[in-house]
Amino acid sequence: MLDLKFIRENLEVVKQAIVNKREKVDLDKLVALDLQRRDLLQEVEKLKQERNRVSQEIGKLKKAGEVADQQIAEMGTVANRVKDLDIEVRRVEAEIRDIQVWIPNIPHESTPIGTTEDDNKGIRTWGEPTEMDFKPKPHWEIGENLGIIDLARGAKVSGSGFVTYTGLGARLERALINWMLDLHTEKHGYREISPPFIVNRESMFATGQLPKLEDDMYLAQTDDLFLIPTAEVPVTNLHRDDVLQAGDLPIKYTAYTPCFRREAGAHGKDTRGLIRVHQFDKVEMVKFVKPETSYDELETLLSEAEEVLQMLELPYRVLQLCTGDLSFAAAKCYDIEVWAPGLDKWLEVSSCSNYESFQARRGNIRFRNEAGKMDFVHTLNGSGLALPRTVIAILETYQTDEGTVVVPEVLRKYLGRDLLK
């Protein structure tokens, strides 16, 4: 969320951000309401001041044993007027908020202006798309043949877009999760978190999923709780309403969670196999940092996510998202796309974003800076990594012409095998 005063003083910047992010918000109405609010405040606060002053007089008079009937009658009238104005102020403030919560974060100045993913900017490529001396199979064929992925039974049990991993497929998931968590905790210095997978409305609002993305989320209606779309939500909300100490920053958490996404309206595109599913596993990294360090922290975060692919020896490329592809809450975001030879495609396996103070304002996550003043932290998060597409890349890259899959070196210890057959 953006600060009201900031919006007031940087109206054109905010308007441009809304256009660039392809959102629609009636800022002029917001400005008018803000003006109205301040007029009302001045009026009601003046009345409150008088009420406070006279009420004190009444107290003194009564203590002195004198009558104060006249003052009491006068303040009765003032009290009624205050009550009416307070209601009006609350109404106007609610209207302001209803607009304010739909204003997206402002893209960082380095963000390319653009409308679709085609306008994203290539940053670097690591490795070369793998050349095979046979025609590589898509992962769903490899997986079904090896008996490690069962799409049909996932669909029977839950519906399309739900996968069941069986045997070594299930173990591969577990191996990847354990290996990634070990990497981030032991080498990168993150603290491991195992958070709730179901969260309340306040949490979904703080990280920016609500109100915009409500239709993409699974909702347990009876209790008004949401299945998390990413560990970012519960882990960032760990510090909602907290005041952190400057000395404690940066705080770095990593968490494995399943992620649940309805993907309303996304049907029809890239839905085959594991490419786009309603439930998937992910290891996430989340950071709470001082504002002046957040862009350096973003680069570190990105390199830690890249390291996962480097250790798996999977070719990938890094893109910086353009304004039109940047999410509602993000100021700057890099995507990492891994090469999938069977699909002959790049697949997004990680998104690393800096939200600056956008989420911190919504969630009231503050810290006391060196000068002793309260300030909002900056929050960041990045996937490290999303599992299904990592599995796709592993199966398709390490497949042999015999239909087996060589296990990447770093996973052998975790999987207890060096070949899937």
Which residues of this chain interact with RNA, rule CB under 7 A?
Answer: 3-5, 38, 41-42, 45-46, 48-49, 51-56, 58-59, 62-63, 72, 75-76, 78-79, 83, 90, 243, 368, 372-374
Least distance in angstroms from the C-beta of 5 to RNA: 6
Q: 95, exposed or middle or buried, with CB in 10 Å at 0-12, 13-18, 19+?
A: middle
Whether the Cβ atoms of residue 340 and residue 393 lie closer than 8 Å to each other: yes
Give 74 or 348: the residue with its C-beta nearer to RNA: 74
Give 152 or 374: the residue with its C-beta nearer to RNA: 374
Amino acid of residue 223: D
Supply the DSSP string of 325-387, one letter for each residue. Answer: TS-TT-SEEEEEEEEETTTTEEEEEEEEEE-TTHHHHHHT-EEE-TTS-EEEPEEEEEEEEEH
> Parallel, antiparallel, or unpaired for β 191-193 and 251-260?
parallel
Least distance in angstroms from the C-beta of 64 to RNA: 11
C-alpha closest to that of 312 among 398, 221, 250: 398
**Helix H or strand E encompassing 155:** helix 151-157
Least distance in angstroms from the C-beta of 90 to RNA: 6
Least distance in angstroms from the C-beta of 54 to RNA: 6
Buried b (16+ CB within 10 A) or exposed e, 125-146: ebeeebeeeeebbbbbbbbeeb
Least distance in angstroms from the C-beta of 89 to RNA: 9
Q: Which residue pairs, CB below 8 angstroms and at least 24 apart, start in 300-304?
A: 301/352, 301/380, 301/381, 301/382, 302/334, 302/336, 302/352, 302/382, 304/184, 304/188, 304/382, 304/384
Give 56 or 116: the residue with its C-beta nearer to RNA: 56
* Three-state DSSP class for residue 274: coil
Least distance in angstroms from the C-beta of 366 to RNA: 7
Least distance in angstroms from the C-beta of 365 to RNA: 12
Q: Give the bridge partners for 354, in sequence order.
A: 332, 380
**Helix H or strand E encompassing 285:** strand 279-289
Axis-axis angle for helices 11-20, 27-63 (nearest 10): 130
**What number of H helices and E strands is found in the chain?**
13, 18
Give 112 or 291: the residue with its C-beta nearer to RNA: 291
CA dihedral 4, 357, 266, 386 (to 10 degrees): -170
First CA to last CA distance, the chain: 51
Give 40 or 148: the residue with its C-beta nearer to RNA: 40
Supply the DSSP string of 27-50, one letter for each residue. Answer: HHHHHHHHHHHHHHHHHHHHHHHH
Give 95 or 313: the residue with its C-beta nearer to RNA: 95
Residue 296 structure tokens: 């350096």
Give 76 or 159: the residue with its C-beta nearer to RNA: 76
Give 78 or 155: the residue with its C-beta nearer to RNA: 78
Give 38 or 267: the residue with its C-beta nearer to RNA: 38
| Residue showing tokens 């008079």 | 61
Q: What is the DSSP letter of 116?
A: S
| Residue showing tokens 């009937």 | 69
Least distance in angstroms from the C-beta of 53 to RNA: 7
Least distance in angstroms from the C-beta of 173 to RNA: 21
Least distance in angstroms from the C-beta of 102 to RNA: 19
Least distance in angstroms from the C-beta of 354 to RNA: 22
